[in-house]
Amino acid sequence: MKSRIAILIALSILSTADLSAQKDKWKEGILVDEFIYTEAPFPEAHAATIEETPDGLIAAWFGGTKEGNKDVCIWTSKLVNNKWTAPEKVADGIINDTLRYACYNPVLFYAPNKELLLFYKIGPNVAGWTGWMIRSNDNGKTWSERERLPDGFLGPIKNKPIMMNGVLLCPSSTEKTGWKAHIEYTTDFGKTWTKSEAINDPKKIQAIQPSILKYKDDRLQILCRSRNTTLNESWSLDGGKTWSEMKASSLPNNNSGTDAVTLKDGRQLLVYNHLLPDSTWVNGKGPRTPLNVAVSKDGRTWDAVLILEDSPISQYSYPSVIQSKDGMVHIVYTWRRQRIKYVKIDPEKLKGERIINKQWPGGLKVAGKTADD
């Protein structure tokens, strides 16, 4: 009897050790994991963005009592001497003395002309929002008066633009008449604009909030959030002027925002919620946990590398990712709608395992079940 108990205890210890090793395995390469703030003059925050300037990192997000409420504004914080500064309000949705709307989805971009651009939206809801921007010539210390984008233009909707042959390509989308992704172009950093046609037919496949990835042969790829339970993709062979038919990628999507970046070594790095649909999903929408990182060399096959969050409590979503000049990867994301989380990663330390048939290697435990059940 004693020997049987001893065996059970030993097996329990081995099982615990194995689970611990599995958990640690998906954290390799993480150098910093912290909140940008712990106290703020707003209870909710969402949709963070991050950028590097000559003065260091800066992040922005929208915060207020609740998404869509009139008091929701755009806030920023800077990383100074390895500490994030207190949140500072830089934009609001006041239209005039009697009209005020919420702010949404800021996007930061440090332009080659040394202007820091901050795009955002103002409106009563997503269908009715309009595009706006402010500029900074001192890396986010002070900002210009706001500028409204021309009618029909929203700027980058969630994820950062890229420069291509002197043109700033802004990944955008609309939700008024079905979910449609498109690209907006500016050659003078937001003074004048043109745009592509819709890249997808929403009757066939839904797509919003694109990220743009670049390849060494000048091909471009966009990855989009969808209602189709898959991350959807399209490709361009002419610098983003025209795009292929939108199709499902090899990865799942829970109808939540993602972001991706092209690394200096040519790999593509994606931050997203990796989980497969089940009977609890409604309109292609599932839980926003876990939050994962995958890498790819070709944008078609992906390797699992990190699990940033896997708690069943609340949500971990809407990531933004960049690679800084020193080669480090920086990610910000929504933590339970209460705070903004910041993670710094050394991409050279990432060890991947192939994702096959949308299955995360080893399975994912969320809310007491595996994501591949």
pLDDT tens for 173-212 read 999 999 999 999 999 999 999 999 999 999 999 999 999 9
Mean of the pLDDT values across residues 23-39?
95
Residue 20 has pLDDT above 90, yes or no: no
Reading the block at residue 359, the tokens are 């299955």
Q: What is the 3-state secondary structure (H, E, C) of the chain?
A: CHHHHHHHHHHHHHHHHHHHHHHHHCCCCEEEEEECCCCCCCCEEEEEEEEEECCEEEEEEEEECCCCCCCCEEEEEEEECCEECCCEEEECCECCCCCECEEEEEEEEECCCCCEEEEEEEECCCCCCEEEEEEECCCCCCCCCCEECCCCCCCCCCCCCEEECCEEEEEEEECECECEEEEEEECCCCCCCEECCCCCCCCCCCCEEEEEEECCCCCEEEEEECCCCEEEEEEECCCCCCCCCCEEEEEECCCCCCEEEECCCCCEEEEECCCCCCCCCECCECCCCCEEEEEECCCCCCEEEEEEECCCCCCEEEEEEEECCCCCEEEEEEECCCEEEEEEECHHHCCCEECECCECCCCCEECCEECCC
Residue 189 in any domain: the answer is yes
Residue 150 in any domain: the answer is yes
pLDDT of residue 283: 86
Q: What is the chain's mean pLDDT, rounded?
A: 93
Residue 11 in any domain: the answer is no
Residue 1 in any domain: the answer is no
pLDDT of residue 101: 98
Reading the block at residue 86, the tokens are 């207190």
Residue 91 in any domain: the answer is yes
Residue 23 in any domain: the answer is no
pLDDT of residue 363: 85
Confidence class for position 3, pLDDT limits 50, 70, 90: low
Q: Which domain CATH number covers 313?
A: 2.120.10.10
pLDDT over 90 percentage in the chain: 90
pLDDT of residue 24: 86
Question: How many domains is the chain partitioned into structurally?
Answer: 1
pLDDT tens for 325-334 read 999 999 999 9
pLDDT of residue 366: 57
Using a 10 angstrom Cβ sphere, with 0-12 exposed, 13-18 middle and 19 or more buried, the burial of residue 61 is: buried
Residue 90 in any domain: the answer is yes
For the question of whether the overall pTM of this predicted structure is more than 0.85, the answer is: yes
Instruction: Report the C-alpha gap between 306 and 104 in whole angstroms.
Output: 28
pLDDT tens for 90-122 read 999 999 999 999 999 999 999 999 999 999 999
Residue 234 in any domain: the answer is yes
By residue range, what is the domain housing residue 100?
Answer: 29-370
